[in-house]
Amino acid sequence: MKNDVKNVLYSESVIKSKVEELAKRISEDYADKELLLIGVLKGANVFMCDLMREITFPIQIDFIAASSYGHSTESSGVVKIIKDLDYSIEGKHVIIVEDIIDTGLTLKYLIENFKSRQPKSLEICTLLDKPERRIAHLEVKYTGFQIPDEFIVGYGIDYAERYRNLPYIATLKESVYSK
């Protein structure tokens, strides 16, 4: 697997510091509140696990799985909910936890969907953001790293369902895509 890596963008220790920083901000902002983190599967799984363990008070978690139709490296904006939330979010302070925002179309759909369920507040926390690629406007309260328009994998993020288990964030060699 490591032979397929072209360039490591963020090492394990750099990611760890950033996750701690985000969790500290969240812990301060929601200190006296009931907070529900919603992880977007599967990509946000690893980030979610690390982030929640750095939050300093008891929180609730839930997961949603959504897939966008279309080409494997491009988002189409047509989103299908594959696994919905287990519980109601009505009246709750919610943060959606995402791995990466690209066009923003997936999250835009989820935000609109969640708003109709009447949470008390709704914010976004993403580890990575590619602002150059944005199509849908989103207010993102917590962002880890802004990255250029490059396809990355690792730390939960896949190419064709693989490389999620790389412990760092990296680009892949061109040869991987032509396999």
Nearest to 93 by CA among 70, 60, 64, 63: 60
Per-residue binder mask for Mg ion (CB under 5 A), 37-76, x = binder: ------x---------------------------------
Pick the piece of the chain touching Mg ion (CB under 5 A) from 85-93, 99-107, 123-131, 148-156: 99-107
Q: What is the DSSP letter of 17?
A: H
Give the sign of the dihedral formed by CA 67, CA 70, CA 75, CA 78.
negative
How far is Cα 131 from Cα 103, in angstroms, rounded to an integer? 8
Residue matched to tokens 């369920």: 117
Say what the alpha-carbon torsion angle 76, 43, 39, 13 is, to the nearest 10 degrees. -140
Site string for ligand IMP, 47-86 (x = CB under 6 A): ---------------------x------x-----------
- Piece in contact with ligand IMP (CB under 6 A), picked from 21-29, 56-64, 99-107, 113-121: 99-107
The window from 23-31, 88-96, 115-123, 152-160 that contacts ligand IMP (CB under 6 A) reads 152-160
CB distance 110 to 54 below 8 Å: no
* Contact residues: Mg ion, CB under 5 A: 43, 99
* Contact residues: ligand IMP, CB under 6 A: 43, 68, 75, 98-107, 151-153, 157
